[in-house]
Structure 1
């Protein structure tokens, strides 16, 4: 039983490494005029549409969505949307169809500022929000949309991401630095520079293994293919960013590249071990990486298998001895 349980758990681990996917949002669809929701394969750097957001509470198409984040309590994919209301709308997005469902209207923030906002849940289900327009930092109550201003970050943050008790602020639009954010005061403390210039907004999210992925948006929608959206990984210790490559244009035959906005991969996790950027990524989800992982798991299972085989042999030996004695 112990051996079977070990192997079953090992297979689940391998399956987890294979699920290298994320969600992002693109330009409005020609079908219904609302924002298109994409599933991104992080290893292959491809984006495939799963559907559109549909209409908001005012029955108008949701033309723009950003600030994607997963909730650790209900597993839903949350985002901020523009629906024609005077304030941004907090929505959940279907992970199979992309359809948006209204949760609440966000108070004290103008709808015109929605594209400059970022969100992240922490492990306790608290939702945090930052603005790249005025650098403000808030607590947000999802059920009511009520906001509580914590403080001013003092720097331009275009994405938030939470892991192991730390809220990270990801700079963009000219601010090429990674920060840790004090959720009591809103103070942003520099961790390190990306080591590469960043003129566009950067979205970010952790995968389940602890790698911080970055999405560098194609912000101006021009110059195909040089202005394609790009993926990168950010080192949590140094802040260095490694660009893994461009995301293939998701709209075949498009004259201008799509602009992807927002990146959500997995709910926030709080564990004792944080993987570095070099520990996971493309090698971890490549056939070679998976093969090495499987071999390692089988090698670890070998002692348990030998012990189980030894116990089985001993049982057979005792049964034969008993039969001969009778």
Structure 2
């Protein structure tokens, strides 16, 4: 089955949810073009998500996806925080940031009962999860709305786990993909594989449709994914330069620079592995130092550095999320990109 039937869309293209770089405007443009637009809820609270979905409904009546994180909120670890602030001390001093001014606590919340109420109120046709799935009772509440359930697998083991726990389709997230890895059964980066290695393994092993994600930038990539059994594709990085994207000017400049050829999996910006363009912070302290606090606590100190640097036109502490293939990034309307990607699908 291809996802056009499952998700009631006309083009087998899913716009990847990209927290911090988009809102309902990009999602609505993709949905209106016949693909599946996605709204990232990982950085929202129930009130702001409700507003986003209300705004989405004003722009389109077509199906869309809402994406949630399923991480565990970590306990406070003062020793880890102290080591982290010591690692960042040269940068904090450079921008005259008092460590005592850095807020504490988790800035991103996992899917919970309050978010489930928003889903029940708006009833999106598709709900997707990152980092596994929520607890069974919460998942059943979402399913009871009639929503189709998607989640990301970064290994064959994760794909089998997701199918056994009742998803309607699995997103095969190759290691090329930008942003956060969806890995949840292991934290071993060495176990992560490329899209076109992972995709056929999942297609062969699973009974549910498999959606290819990671490194898919143009119609040729879509054709290749289909040839390997994909039921559809999910694309993120290529949408970052679109007219409806809310990627910052610094992010847009980086995507169009030679530096975009060099991405790495880093834990610096949030505490979980995520792929982005190498900048000064990554170069000087390493991509995954041991002192980084657990997700999402690393983002607090980084947020203070960003707030000081970005107004000066400095991207040294900005998470410049991007996949390994930025060749599809174009400053065009999202509808045009969606149609260009779909031209690679052969039926």
Q: When the two structures are superposed, what TM-score results if normalisation uses the length of structure 1? A: 0.27
Larger radius of gyration: 1
Q: Name the structure, 1 or 2, with higher relative contact order (CA <8 Å, separation 6+).
A: 2
Between Structure 1 and Structure 2, which shows a larger proportion of strand residues?
Answer: 1
Q: When the two structures are superposed, what TM-score results if normalisation uses the length of structure 2? A: 0.26
Between Structure 1 and Structure 2, which shows a larger proportion of helix residues?
Answer: 2
